[in-house]
Amino acid sequence: MIRTATPADVPVIHQLIRDLAEYEKALDEARATPEQLHEALFGPHPAAYAHIAETDTGEVAGFALWFLNFSTWRGVHGIYLEDLYVRPDLRGGGHGKALLTELARLCVERGYERLEWSVLDWNKPSIDFYESLGARPQDEWTVYRLTDEALKELGS
């Protein structure tokens, strides 16, 4: 079952984000607090949205956290999937596909023309999974990022 996250889900979302960061070998970079997540998801001006995948017994299997982006070329919003994570012991049960299916459904329902995300180039199981759904890599684009001191220096 896929459902929209509620404020009561913030602790489990926070833990799943940390689990994902550990899987991606970057736990030290996962600095978001539960309070920050609550504000981003449920504050007066939500910046992100989340969906929860549950097992038949109501156990949280995984989550998708996303936000709106905008295509100047197409003139409409899209969804950028920031995080998709299913607990390792529950993978293969269709939870990841169900989460992506729900986001694709939202895109179609709302007239959004893109559902996009990034994947680490070494994450072959995820790449194979995404490609099995019809997703294609955008390898002609390179992601750039400013953070920490470089961001502060440029912004000062």
Known catalytic residues? 130
**C-beta separation of 104 from 64 below 8 A:** no
CA angle 104, 109, 110 (to 5 degrees): 100
Q: Which residue has the tokens 């960061």?
A: 21
Of the candidates 74, 73, 117, the residue with the CA atom closest to the CA atom of residue 96: 117
**C-beta separation of 82 from 30 below 8 A:** no
Residue partners of 83: CB distance under 8 A and separation at least 6: 16, 17, 20, 63, 64, 65
> d(Cα 80, Cα 90) in Å, to the nearest integer?
24
Residues listed for the chain? 156
List the beta bridge partners of residue 77: 70
